[in-house]
Amino acid sequence: VAIKKINLQGLRKKELKVNEFMVMKMNKNSNLVNFLDSYLVDKQFWLVMEYMDGGTLSHVISKTYLSEDEMAAISRE
């Protein structure tokens, strides 16, 4: 598993994190990293997800150039 720790203290965009949690919880798809569980630990919100080797999509796209066709293929999946 992978655990994403979200510090709730001082978080300005809490609604975005809540939205992320709700989307993950409601959507099950073989092409997405699936939500497994969540916990509130002290002032952190822990999201427990399936582990996916290779890092986050945001990390990949910040380091790699994708053509429009590649972006469309990823989005379609």
C-alpha span between 27 and 64 (Å, rounded): 27
Q: Could you tell me the CATH number of the domain that includes residue 10?
A: 3.30.200.20
Query: How confident is the model at residue 29, as a pLDDT?
Result: 78
Number of domains forming the structure of the chain = 1
Task: Please give the residue range of the domain that contains residue 9.
Answer: 2-75
For residue 43, give the nearest of 11, 15, 8, 14 by alpha carbon: 8
For 19-69, write each residue's pLDDT tens digit: 777 777 887 877 778 889 889 898 888 989 888 887 777 777 788 888 899
**What residues form DSSP beta bridges with 47?**
4, 38
* Amino acid type, 74: I
Query: How confident is the model at residue 7, as a pLDDT?
Result: 81
* Token couple for 36: 């497994």
Cα 39 to chain centroid distance, Å, stands at 16
- Confidence (pTM): 0.61
Query: How confident is the model at residue 11, as a pLDDT?
Result: 63
Angle value at C-alpha 1, between 61 and 29, nearest 5 degrees: 65
